[in-house]
Amino acid sequence: MWKLGKRSKKVYESGLHEDLQRIIDMACVACPIDFGLTSGVRTAEQQFKLFKIGRAYIGGDGDTSDPSNWNQIKSSVATYLDGYEKKSNHQKKDDGFGYAIDFIAYVEGQSQLMYDHVHMAAIIGSFMTCASILYHEGKITHMLRSGADWDGDTRWLEPGTFQDLPHLELIEP
């Protein structure tokens, strides 16, 4: 059943919640687009490194690890979660598991770094469908949320919202 590559397997085995693993297993078979997993569980340090993307150090009290000492300088940042004060679902929860993944589409065997909406929508739709089926069959206890639809209203990529197409995370139903 497993069709993902070596790097994706490493992400899969990084400490993801078993519900997320079950969804990934089913999506590997169901998804019409080849995809890979690019990120699973992250440390606070790894999350903070992503937090700094699109921001500049302003000095503050001189502590470069303090999120308040970083100002946004670009309209697009990688994340608003610094890993310390604001934790990501990529970080392990109290139960010891990560609740989020990032993925990439493979188009004609190459990674699609542009994250075009057509391929992202096909992958997201496959994951959401797999999660719904597994949940309604009683095989998982969580549902899935997409970084394309944070509020779950099925209107993707709404203006003024932070858009993270290659992000999926477990949520309580």
Alpha carbons 73 and 164: distance in angstroms, whole number: 18
Task: List, for residues 105-159, the tens digit of each pLDDT value.
Answer: 888 777 655 568 888 999 999 999 999 999 999 999 999 999 999 998 988 888 8
Residues in the chain: 173
- Here the CATH number for the domain that contains residue 97 is 3.30.1380.10
25 plus 97 within the same structural domain:
yes
The helix-helix angle for 117-136 and 18-30 (nearest 10°) equals: 120
pLDDT, tens digit, 9 for 90 and up, residues 36-47: 999 999 999 999
Q: By the 8 A CB rule, do 42 and 150 touch?
A: no
Q: Which of 147, 123, 142 is nearest to 132 (CA)?
A: 142
Q: How many domains does the chain have?
A: 2
Q: Is pTM, for the whole model, over 0.85?
A: yes
Same domain, 164 and 114: yes
Q: Tell me the C-alpha distance between 11 and 165, whole Å.
A: 18
* Domain of residue 16, residue span: 6-42+88-171
pLDDT digits (tens, 9 = 90+) for 83-114: 999 999 999 999 999 999 999 988 877 765 55
Distance separating alpha carbons of residues 130 and 24, to the nearest angstrom: 8
Verify that 133 and 65 share a domain, yes or no: no
Q: Do residues 54 and 102 share a domain? A: no
